[in-house]
Chain A
Amino acid sequence: MNSVFVYCEIEGKTVADVSLELLTKGRKLANTLGVQLECICAGAGLEGVEKQVIPFGVDRVHIFDAEGLFPYTSNPHTALVVNLFKEEKPQICLMGATVIGRDLGPRVSSSLHSGLTADCTQLEIGDFEMNVKNADGEMVKKQYTQQLYQIRPAFGGNIVATIVNPEHRPQMATVREGVMKKEVLDANYKGEVIRHDVAKYVPETEYVVKVLDRHIEKAKHNLKGASIVVSGGYGMGSREGFDMLFELAKELHAEVGASRAAVDAGFADHDRQIGQTGVTVRPKVYIACGISGQIQHIAGMQDAGIIISINNDPNAPINTIADYVINGTVEEVVPKMIKYYKKNSK
């Protein structure tokens, strides 16, 4: 009872990375709370889907397998989650901050009257005290233990807020892809598989929206939506020079971008070009490596929250819009950033 639940998003028969990342995080939260980790897999033709999720430490997999559950539509998925939660009474429910999670989460939270926090960047368990009204209408201090801290940027990314939902269950949160780390716990983990009778949870009347047509392309990267971008310029010297940027990006859960000069020189693929003629990015952090900062490049990244410029030319134009200027060569600075990130991150 009162488990941690993850709603797994499934494209065809494949569980989305964001869901596996949430299972990894959910396992840690469940360990802290001393409860089980459970997940929901809903779709069509899901034989063997449990093999994709159990290794992440899932104790119970709830499978809803029926025609009409794929492609996703709002009402049937809401019905099965809400009706299952009425039975299982989870204390926490995590979903991807994807189109599906952001369509489903609010509907479920409205139906269950529970709090939902969108786009969390951190999830922690903690205790706190809050003023609440008692039966006589007086304000009194009340202690809450082992609550989910839902930490997210707010107000256009200018503040970080910690949200709690002390009086309502489940505590719901969505998290974007790439924010949490994905780690298999144990390839031989033993989890229970429960195949539910979908008709018991989803009345026929819920199948109201018909998907007429779908075009899904597998994206090579998500430069546009990345919260951290590591970007290289002509100063990277070669295609091989970009390798260390990919390495730094992997550590930071970032995407790699490039200036037009670097793309024209063949150091990076065209679809990674940032600037007026390429992609416009608005990440939280933009790390410009060996980029001088032509106007056309700046147009595509000036809205970044924090700009870090690494350049051995102290007069590079990009330094004038950077929050941090590191005077040095990329060959020296980038490996040090990787080293000290590994040393200091949890």
Chain B
Amino acid sequence: MSLKIVVLAKQVPDTRNVGPDAMTPEGTVNRAALPAVFNPEDLNALEQALRLKEQFPGSTISVVTMGLPKSAEVIREALYRGADEGYVITDRCLGGADTLATSYTLSQAIKKIGGFDIILGGRQAIDGDTAQVGPQIAEKLGLTQVTYAEEILELNPDTRKIIIKRHVDGGVETVEAPLPLVVTVNGSAAPCRPRNAKRVLKYKNATAPAERTPEQAEAMAELVAKKPYLNINQWGAADIDADPEQIGKTGSPTNVKAVKNIVFKAKESRTMTASDADIEGLIVELLDSNTIG
């Protein structure tokens, strides 16, 4: 039996390495100062997909991402590591989406891909840490889910059941679930294998149409005609039959009312004495900034 596997990936600003210039003087996030990376737990998910592919020859891995045209970078990275094809879901009208609008959009894309047996994604993305998109996609597709997965232990092609070890609060659990389903994978799961040099050579010129300059577009059209794998699929809202009421900011029930910068200047330390005034001043400052509750 071969499997059709979908891996969800997100390009995220690397919030793990926030430097002093990560915030603008106005207190908003300076995205330009943060490198864009493959969301770490999505790589753990990709590794589980690659292991299934090895176990069931003939299986295919489709990587799906939603974001700006440059998020095709994560598709290329996944192709270098063993994925078979990629889809970039990009459209101006998708901007400002919260987790619910995002999961609706991705679920529409997954429906269009169709015929999937298992959908894998990271437990959460480091820019939001919400862990919501996986379960919401499962609900929208009418599938069950296994979150916080550590390892896929067994997949029985005859019964179409999968056995997964997962983390729960204070322990571990082994569950059995039917295919198709959504699985979100923990950062503590096996790390993703590195790039394969041959695949890097094969896919390094793969692009999504929106990444190409008008000059490149013509040359790429010829190239893609000969080597279709160099085309990263690109879909807009209309391509996935998305309901305009359910995407982008319009489709997002949550609204950001206010944002407050709580970054203390990086390591410009303040020295104080043990006097009552100094200690009380510090406590009040930490309370006012919601640093302590």
Binding site for B on A (CB under 8 A): 71, 73-75, 78, 98-100, 102-107, 109-111, 113-119, 121-122, 128, 130, 149-151, 153-168, 179, 208-219, 228, 252-253, 284-285, 303, 305-306, 308, 314, 319-329, 332-333, 336-337, 340-341, 343-345
Residues in A whose Cβ lies below 8 Å from that of B292: 228, 252, 285, 341, 345
Which listed residue (A179, A214, A308) contacts B173, Cβ 8 A?
Answer: A214
Bound form: Cα–Cα A163–B98 in Å: 11
Bound form: Cα–Cα A340–B292 in Å: 13
Which listed residue (A98, A111, A156, A328) contacts B274, Cβ 8 A?
Answer: A328
Question: Does the CB pair A159–B99 fall under 8 Å?
Answer: no
- 6 nearest A-B pairs in the assembled complex, by CB-CB distance: A328-B274, A156-B15, A115-B253, A115-B254, A106-B132, A216-B171
* Interface pairs (12), CB distance under 8 Å: A106-B139, A109-B253, A110-B135, A118-B130, A119-B129, A154-B129, A156-B126, A161-B256, A166-B255, A168-B253, A211-B173, A323-B269
Bound form: Cα–Cα A303–B15 in Å: 12
Chain B window 138-179, contacts with chain A (Cβ cutoff 8 Å), 1 for yes, 0 for no? 111000111110000000000000010001111111111110
Bound form: Cα–Cα A228–B287 in Å: 13
Question: Does the CB pair B256–A73 fall under 8 Å?
Answer: no
Residues in A whose Cβ lies below 8 Å from that of B167: 99
Residues in A whose Cβ lies below 8 Å from that of B258: 161-162
Write the chain B residue with the least CB distance to A163. B254
Residues in A whose Cβ lies below 8 Å from that of B29: 155, 158-159
Chain B window 279-293, contacts with chain A (Cβ cutoff 8 Å), 1 for yes, 0 for no? 110111011001111
Residues in A whose Cβ lies below 8 Å from that of B278: 326
Question: Does the CB pair A158–B129 fall under 8 Å?
Answer: no
Chain B interface size, as a band, is: 35 or more
Residues in B whose Cβ lies below 8 Å from that of A214: 168, 171-174
Bound form: Cα–Cα A210–B174 in Å: 9
Bound form: Cα–Cα A132–B238 in Å: 25
Q: Does B22 have its Cβ within 8 Å of any Cβ on chain A?
A: yes
Residues in A whose Cβ lies below 8 Å from that of B163: 212
Instruction: Classify the interface of chain A: helix, strand, loop or mixed.
Output: mixed
Which listed residue (A111, A156, A217, A327) contacts B272, Cβ 8 A?
Answer: A327
Residues in A whose Cβ lies below 8 Å from that of B263: 158-159
Question: Does the CB pair A322–B274 fall under 8 Å?
Answer: no
Q: Does B239 have its Cβ within 8 Å of any Cβ on chain A?
A: no
Write the chain B residue with the least CB distance to A74. B145
Residues in A whose Cβ lies below 8 Å from that of B92: none
Instruction: Classify the interface of chain B: helix, strand, loop or mixed.
Output: mixed
Residues in B whose Cβ lies below 8 Å from that of A122: 290, 293
Distance between A134 CB and nearest chain B CB, rounded to angstroms: 14
Which listed residue (A168, A323, A341) contacts B283, Cβ 8 A?
Answer: A341
- 10 A-B pairs besides A215-B172, A215-B173 with CB distance below 8 A are A74-B144, A105-B132, A109-B253, A208-B178, A210-B176, A214-B173, A216-B168, A228-B292, A323-B268, A328-B273
Question: Does the CB pair B169–A110 fall under 8 Å?
Answer: no
Q: Does B259 have its Cβ within 8 Å of any Cβ on chain A?
A: yes
Residues in A whose Cβ lies below 8 Å from that of B139: 78, 106-107, 110-111
Bound form: Cα–Cα A167–B254 in Å: 9
Question: Does the CB pair B259–A160 fall under 8 Å?
Answer: yes
Write the chain A residue with the least CB distance to B279. A336
Bound form: Cα–Cα A98–B140 in Å: 22
Greatest chain B CB density within 10 A among A107, A110, A210, A320 is at A110
Bound form: Cα–Cα A320–B267 in Å: 8
A165 with B132: in contact, given A156-B16, A253-B293, A324-B272 (CB under 8 Å)?
no
Bound form: Cα–Cα A159–B291 in Å: 11
Interface residue ranges of B5-22 to A (CB < 8 Å): 13, 15-16, 18, 22
Question: Does the CB pair B269–A209 fall under 8 Å?
Answer: no
Q: Does B240 have its Cβ within 8 Å of any Cβ on chain A?
A: no
